[in-house]
Amino acid sequence: MGGFFGAISKRDVSLDIFFGVDYHSHLGTRRGGMVIYDEHDGFQRQIHSIENTPFRTKFEKDLQKFHGTSGIGCISDTDPQPLLVRSHLGVYAISTVGIINNAEALVEDYFNGHARQFMAMSSGKVNSSELTAALINQKDTLAEGIRYAQEVIDGSSTILILTPEGIVAARDKLGRLPVLIGRNEEGCCVSFESFACTKLGYENAYELGPGEIVRVTAQGWETLAPAGDQMRICAFLWTYYGYPNSNYEGQNVEVVRCRNGEIMAREEAKKGPLPDVDCVAGVPDSGVPHAIGFANASGKPFARPFVKYTPTWPRSFMPASQAVREQVAKMKQIPVPELIQGKKLLFVDDSIVRGTQLRETVDFLYGAGAKEVHMRSACPPIMYGCKYLNFSRSNSSMELLARKTVQELEGDEGHRHLEEYADASTQRGQCLLKSICEKLGFDSLGYQSLEGLLEAIGIDRDKVCTYCWTGRE
């Protein structure tokens, strides 16, 4: 996925950018970058790979070189950024978060307009931020260019631009990701995660609407293009990607996750008795708050039968190699034998995507002496790969566990009945649950319903993107 942070102030903001970007490290593992602007020395930029070393470690030595009263930085799971651009609109730095599905078509169209080149990466692809800048530069102002870029991009594009005059921030036209402004007595910041603002001494002051474009200075902000009336914010922000302390559209992540678990337990109890288990646990770490809610509502004690060792492996999918990621996932799981041996355990995970690591987890638990392992997913079966945000390494929907299982059960015909398979009250839904249970070794399996998830999020359902579960725009 990716995230960004920017600040502009009457004082030096280098430390704010450093820590603000670092607070977005959970959103990406490939590249990190910072750009600071000083009115005398201009732009200072540094980009590093963070695949094997955390952002903070990589950029600590660069701090002594940075100085200035405005800056932006980013964590990127895709391309190196922020980029420095010189055009008829002036010199500016740009960082983007999102995905451009029609990148090749946009590049070809650009060439047909007599443009000569892009700087190609080693893969031969064009950097998404460079392509976005090229689209922006076709118009007479940054605001017009940003609006044009967002209209022609198939996918999504949330944009942060640093100019000598200030920071320009633009939320994706359907608001799939958040953009927030913080303010203190000396200046303002722009952030993906709200807690990054408050930890650095800014008050959360304003949340951009979908498609809104603002210019931010040390004195405040002004709207360059108003928000649209349609929003499709990503539900996975509350389910998995968002940090527990953050708020989006007025809904705190940790509160939503706990409420989600409570709703799951409540609805399951309506259908019959819950499994007779010794404790409820979360698949660490993102499954923990869902599990706390489930435990509170079910009356079953909460426990932590295993923990993750995270000081050196903050995310299991950090390495590029799938084989290495799987090995790292194994190495991170450390059991508490006294809470596993001879115990009946019910685990809640934030989601079940491919199921590979979950299969390893179940084997690990039985190997540690568990008597029963029951699994609950805090969201419905994922049937479609996301085409709006770059947060999955899946190359095809058929890599998803639910879709792969449907194919095994009914072949191509099954894909005409995905809605039924996602509904546990139907015969097809029960077949899906049984098949996945057998495949992954669970004693029972349950998924949160889409209705339950939307109830937990607590905002107008028409404003929430649920494409990965329903396939509907």
The whole-number pLDDT of residue 316 equals 43
Asked if residues 244 and 278 have their Cβ atoms less than 8 Å apart, the reply is: no
Asked if residues 91 and 84 have their Cβ atoms less than 8 Å apart, the reply is: yes
pLDDT band for position 13 (50/70/90)? very high
Q: Spell out the CATH class of 2-231.
A: alpha beta
| DSSP-derived pairing of the beta strands 220-225 and 464-465 | unpaired
**Which range has the worst mean pLDDT, 116-125, 341-350, 459-468?**
116-125
**How does pLDDT run across 247-277, given as a tens digit for each residue?**
999 999 999 999 999 999 999 999 999 999 9
Residue 169, token pair as written in the block: 């921030």
**How does pLDDT run across 199-222, given as a tens digit for each residue?**
999 999 999 999 999 999 999 999
Asked if residues 308 and 333 have their Cβ atoms less than 8 Å apart, the reply is: yes
Query: What value, to the nearest 5°, has the Cα angle with vertex 153 and ends 31 and 73?
Result: 25
Q: What DSSP line would sit under 285-297, residue for residue?
A: TTTHHHHHHHHHH
Give the Cβ contact number of residue 84 at 10 Å.
Answer: 15
The whole-number pLDDT of residue 317 equals 41
Residue 377 has pLDDT above 70, yes or no: yes
Asked if residues 8 and 166 have their Cβ atoms less than 8 Å apart, the reply is: yes
The whole-number pLDDT of residue 15 equals 97
Rg (CA), the chain: 23
H helices of 38-119, in order, are 55-59, 103-112
Q: For residue 197, give every residue at least 6 positions away whose Cβ sits within 8 Å of its Cβ, in sequence order, or none.
A: 20, 180, 182, 189, 191, 203, 204
Angle between helices 142-152 and 128-136 (to 10 degrees): 120
Mean pLDDT of the 61-83 span: 93
251-470: in CATH 3.40.50.2020 = yes
Mean of all residue pLDDT scores within the chain: 91
Q: For residue 425, give every residue at least 6 positions away whose Cβ sits within 8 Å of its Cβ, in sequence order, or none.
A: none
The whole-number pLDDT of residue 119 equals 67
The whole-number pLDDT of residue 398 equals 84
CATH 3.60.20.10 in the chain, residue ranges: 2-231
Q: Which amino acid is at 385?
A: G
**How does pLDDT run across 303-322, given as a tens digit for each residue?**
999 888 766 555 544 455 66
**How does pLDDT run across 336-370, given as a tens digit for each residue?**
999 999 999 999 999 998 887 788 888 889 998 99
Determine the Cα–Cα distance for residues 177 and 159; give it in Å rounded to an integer. 11
Determine the Cα–Cα distance for residues 300 and 94; give it in Å rounded to an integer. 50
**How does pLDDT run across 158-198, given as a tens digit for each residue?**
999 999 999 999 999 999 999 999 999 999 999 999 999 99
**Which range has the worst mean pLDDT, 47-51, 89-93, 131-135?**
47-51
CATH 3.40.50.2020 in the chain, residue ranges: 251-470
